[in-house]
Structure 1
Amino acid sequence: MVNTISKNFAANKRRLDAELMVDDNFDIINRNIDIGQRESCIYFIDGFAKDEILEKLMEFFSDLKKEDLDCTPEEFKNKLLPYGETDLVDKMDDVITRILSGVPCLLIDGYEKVLAIDCRTYPARSVEEPDKDKVMRGSRDGFVETLVSNTALIRRRIRNPSLIMQMMSVGSSSHTDIVVCYMKDRVDERLLNKVIDKIQSIKIDALTMNQESLAECIYRGSWLNPFPKFRYTERPDAASASVLEGKIVVVVDNSPSVMILPTTIFGIVEEADDYYFPPITGTYLRLSRIIINIIALVLTPTFALLMQHPDWIPKGLEFIKIKDTINIPIIIQFLILEFSIDGLRIASLNTPSMLSTPLSVVAALILGDFSVSSGWFNSEIMLYMAFVAIANYSQVSFELGYALKFMRLVILILTGLFSQWGFILGLVLTLLAVMFNRTISGYNYMYPLVPFNFRVLVRHLFRVTLPSSEKIR
């Protein structure tokens, strides 16, 4: 089928009506109008177009004379059409995609091009602080599901002509809009070309799960390694800071978070609060978060190992020994509680907000008190697992939290099976999982520790400022 627009208005309209199934879709509007005694029709999606703009355009079109249209489509667009965001489209497939994206398209008899008038608007929630990525001080805005709003939040913070917003489309059915955001004079050109090539080469029907679908298309390596390959954020200030550091931010339509490339383990543990406080406070917050996550990783396996070898307990710490009867092996208790915590987390997501507080109180009383008194769990086990559960929320990355959880389970199981040798093996496997995790950039996941770069390592561990010329990988 010919993909070009012809001068025959009736033929173009019949094809558009058939392709868009106008008679079957109540929300696809084709409004027949008369412009300068020429047959015309404007197509738009009900709910996506700004009614005030369309009304003004209709008034303008009704005032045009026959001689006004004795011009080319380019002249009509540049001299007559009183709107800023306009474009000429000469391919029928592009016209259909524009209409389904919410862009009103004007078809005029005698013109071989269609006028795309971008006066669309999308239903969107208010720009508010993310529930997960909150700060004690700083900006209270966050990304939403509308791509244009998200790019505007970044553009508002970086008023520099070197800031580039490059748009692409992925998905033969969904045609999901994707924006690659970067600083032209600071980005790694090799990595940028690699990312753009990967996105443009994606052959998929639809990005059904938005960013996760895109991430799995971009990264074709093994996903057995649980440590995150990308960094995600819902904060415009964090995304803007990353762009200024020379990193690439990928914004996906319908997603309230953005992807930051490249990333390392040190980059993932950083948070906005580190920079909204003085250097000494920001350094304390960052180091405490790192230490807490390391303790959460090894606390329960270390306790289990010490209970297998009580004589290894240092003098003065004998009080950590379990004095009550152990009815269920310690390793089994830890594993049951690990899965129970995830069960409670899933249940809390599906609990109506009005019931979450009373149900959480009931759950704490019943599950906490009676599980100990019934003999299923020992109180020491409950204490350490409570610390681990709370420590998981000390950093914002869900992916990193679950990665640490999976490695903690591996260490626990190996410790239960092979005692101290299993504990050492679990630690080695965790270290190898971090060291051999490769992201899309190809750099080592532990950079700047491996390969060692003292100045950049100091920047990641302590809240200090590097010279602007220093590149953060």
Structure 2
Amino acid sequence: MQDFDSRSRSLRDALYVGKSFDVLDRPVFFGGRRAVFTLIDGFVKDELFEKIMEFLYSLKEDDPCFESEEKFLARAVPYCEAALEPDLDKAVTAILSGQTALLIEGFSQFLLLDIRTYPQRDTAEPEKDKVFRGSHDGFVETMVLNCALIRRRIRSPHLRMEAFQIGTASQTDIVLCYLADRADETLLSKLRGKLQNARVDALTMNSESLAEILLPHKWYNPFPRFKYTERPDAAAAQVLEGDVVLLVDNSPAAMTLPTSIFDILEEANDYYFPPLTGSYLRLTRMLVLILMLLITPVWLLLNQNPAWLPDGLRFLLPSEAPAVPLIWQLLILELGIDGLKLATLNTPSMLTTSLSVIAGIVVGDFAVQSGWFSAEAMLYMAFVALGGFNQPSFELGYAIKFMRIGLLVLTASLNLWGFIGGLVLILVIVLSCKTFSGHSYLYPLVPFDGKLLKKKLFRPSIKNQR
């Protein structure tokens, strides 16, 4: 067994104490024995640390707690979150995660005290997932607090929070959250295997990195396989339905799986209104998604074949021959909308009004007056842009966008056959997309399950869910 000096020196060398200013070791003397605290500055609750130090200084040399590490832990540590750790590497990882290590002369094991605290923002409602009614709190970047927000809503002994660490360099904490009596055990076993066998250096992009590790897919299939939410009530509802939620440290977004396209289209507001209103909102969202995909390709197809339109629908065609071909107008506007979104993200809040004026008047009105774009093309693309904000998932919105652009190009190139071929290609891509559990992305539509499909399309009442 290594002596105290050798053990403390090994810990100092492993953490490069003295080379990093925030890695601290604090030598102390109590009960006639030497000891040293090792911690990361900024991760420790100062009040708790002072209380523990005060108690330890009161110990006498002949106190029975010094007979063994186990007795010391049971009788001399006035804190609930404490454990013994014999392995140096695991102790180093715990310290870097924010725990405080105490090494005492005569003991071979490290005493780990979880008196850590992380800098964090307030649990305010997330900007993306706002609701008219309901709770207005949200996940933050601190794992323990996010778990507590779910525990607060599900007071069941069957609720499990399994912890994993991924990344040889980052050692990122991952929590697998589920209800043991409702979750699919086959799915859980598959998830555990993926998490335990993940071999990466770091989760540099938090939830997105984990998603690519768990379910790698072809680059040409942009449809999202995971549902993300920053709302604790939404995550708790998914857990209660038997789904599995993954929480990643330093990320406020919870990942839900397995996920079909119907799950992604659901929103918290659907459940904070009566069933009729919630069903209307959900069906409207689905209809807008279909229109986002088809409205501009169908309009382009009709412009290429004006004889198909009856006299009462001739107003759909441009009143004047456009200076720029319609297909190029639509493609340029597709890029222009994303350019405005990026400009909004990078514009300080005090200048957003100026950006709106430039985008709405200069880019919009003057582009039509100059003859570059037709008013009809601007109108339909404005509908597409507004429809994108109706979708709770950014990933799904961009997946539809890529499908729409491909459909536009095929329609412009091959007319009706290009339009039909594009729809078939989109259907093939969607059908080839599988959830993490191996089900179809369109389940319960494909394969058909009428009872479950009704539940996905229409918001059920609480009475029907029992």
Q: Sort the TM-score into its range (normalised by shorter chain).
A: over 0.9
Aligned with 1:271 (options 267, 272, 279) = 267
Q: Report whether the alignment pairs 1:125 with 2:82.
A: no
Residue 45 of structure 1, aligned match among 10, 21, 40: 40
CA 1:110 to 1:91, structure 2 compared with 1: closer, same or farther past 3 Å? same
Q: After TM superposition, give the deviation of residue 448 of structure 1 in Å.
A: 0.6
The answer as to whether partners of 2:56 and 2:76 remain within 8 angstroms in 1 is: no
Question: Is 1:455–2:441 an aligned residue pair?
Answer: no
Which amino acid is the alignment partner of residue 18 of structure 1? Answer: D
Q: Which residue of 2 is the match for residue 3 of structure 1?
A: none
1:61 to 56, 62, 82: 56
Question: Are 2:92 and 1:96 aligned?
Answer: yes
Taking only the aligned residue pairs, the percentage that are identical comes to: 53
1:66 counterpart letter in structure 2: E
Q: CA deviation at 1:169?
A: 0.3
Contact 2:134 2:272 in 1 (8 A): yes
Deviation at 1:283, TM superposition (A): 0.5
Contact kept? 1:172, 1:206, Cα under 8 Å: yes
SS in 1 for 2:67: coil
Which AA in structure 2 matches 1:274?
Answer: D
Which residue type is aligned with residue 59 of structure 1? E
Q: What are the residue-to-residue correspondences of 1:17-36 with 2, within 5 Å?
A: 17-36=12-31
Structure 2, unpaired ranges of 5+: none
Shift in CA distance, 120/333, structure 1 to aligned 2, threshold 3 Å: same
How many residues in Structure 1 have an aligned counterpart in Structure 2? 465
Aligned residues of 2:159 and 2:180 also touching (Cα < 8 A): yes
Partner of residue 250, structure 1: 246
Deviations 1:421-463 (A, max 9, x none): 1111111111122111012110111111111111110100001
1:66 counterpart SS class: coil
AA in 2 matched with 1:394: N
Please list the CA deviations of residues 213-236 of structure 1 after superposition, one character each: whole Å capped at 9, or x if unmatched.
111111133232111111111111
| Alignment match, 1:238 | 234
* Residue 79 (structure 1) aligns with: 75
Query: Contact 1:7 / 1:111 at 8 angstroms: preserved in 2?
Result: no
1:298 counterpart letter in structure 2: L
Deviations along 1:227-284, one digit per CA (max 9) or x if unpaired, are 1111111111111000000000000001110110100011100000000000000000
User: What's 2:318 paired with?
Assistant: 322
CA shift at 1:207, angstroms? 0.6
Give the SS at the match of 1:221. Answer: coil
Q: What TM-score comes out, normalization by structure 2 length?
A: 0.98
Distance 1:19 1:467 in 2: 59
SS in 1 for 2:312: coil
| CA contact 2:275–2:461 (8 Å) conserved in 1 | no
4+ runs of 1 displaced by more than 4 Å? Answer: 465-470
Find the aligned partners of 1:378 and 1:322 in 2 and give their Cα distance. 7
What does 1:393-472 correspond to in 2, within 5 Å? Answer: 393-465=389-461
Residue 465 of structure 1: how far off its partner (Å): 4.4
- Give the alignment of 1:48-447 within 5 angstroms: 48-68=43-63, 69-447=65-443
Is contact 2:171–2:202 with CA below 8 Å preserved after alignment?
yes
Equivalence for 1:8: 3
Counterpart secondary structure, 1:181:
strand
CA distance in 1, matches of 2:387, 2:84: 55
Q: 1:446 & 1:466 partners in 2: Cα distance?
A: 25
1:469, 1:373 → 2: CA distance? 56
- How far apart are 1:320 and its partner, in Å? 1.3
In structure 2, what is the Cα distance between the partners aligned to 1:55 and 1:468?
A: 55
| Contact kept? 1:459, 1:465, Cα under 8 Å | no
Query: 1:410 deviation in Å?
Result: 0.6
CA deviations on 1:160-195 (whole Å, 9 max, x unpaired) are 000000000001110000000000000000001001
For residues 149-170 of structure 1, what are the alpha-carbon distances to aligned partners after superposition, in whole Å with 9 as ceiling and x for unaligned? Answer: 1111111100000000000000
Could you tell me how far 1:70 is from its partner in structure 2? 2.8
Evaluate the alpha carbon distance shift between residue 468 and residue 52 of structure 1 in structure 2; reply closer, same or farther with a 3 A threshold. Answer: farther
2:194 and 2:123 map into 1 onto residues whose CA distance is: 31
Structure 1 pair 163–467 and aligned structure 2 pair: CA distance change class (3 A): farther
The one-letter amino acid paired with 1:210 is N
The answer to whether the 8 Å contact 1:32/1:42 transfers is yes
Amino acid at match of 1:457: L
Residue identity matched to 1:357? T
- CA deviations on 1:322-352 (whole Å, 9 max, x unpaired) are 0123111101100000011111111111111
Within 2, Cα distance between the matches of 1:469 and 1:78?
Answer: 47
| Larger CA deviation: 307-316 vs 137-146 | 307-316
Equivalents in 2 of 1:54, 1:7: separation in Å? Answer: 27
Is this contact kept in 1: 2:167–2:199, CA < 8 A?
A: yes
Which amino acid counterpart does residue 118 of structure 1 have in structure 2? D
State the alpha-carbon separation in 1 of the partners of residues 414 and 462 from structure 2.
46
CA distance in 2, matches of 1:171, 1:363: 43
> 2-side partners of 1:425 and 1:131: how far apart?
39
Residues 399-432 of structure 1 show CA distances to partners (whole Å, capped at 9, x for unaligned) of 1000000000010000000011111111111112
Matched position secondary structure for 1:82: coil
CA contact (8 A) 1:125 1:144 kept: yes
Structure 1 residue identity aligned to 2:8: K
Do the aligned residues in 2 keep the contact of 1:30 with 1:42 (CA within 8 Å)?
A: yes
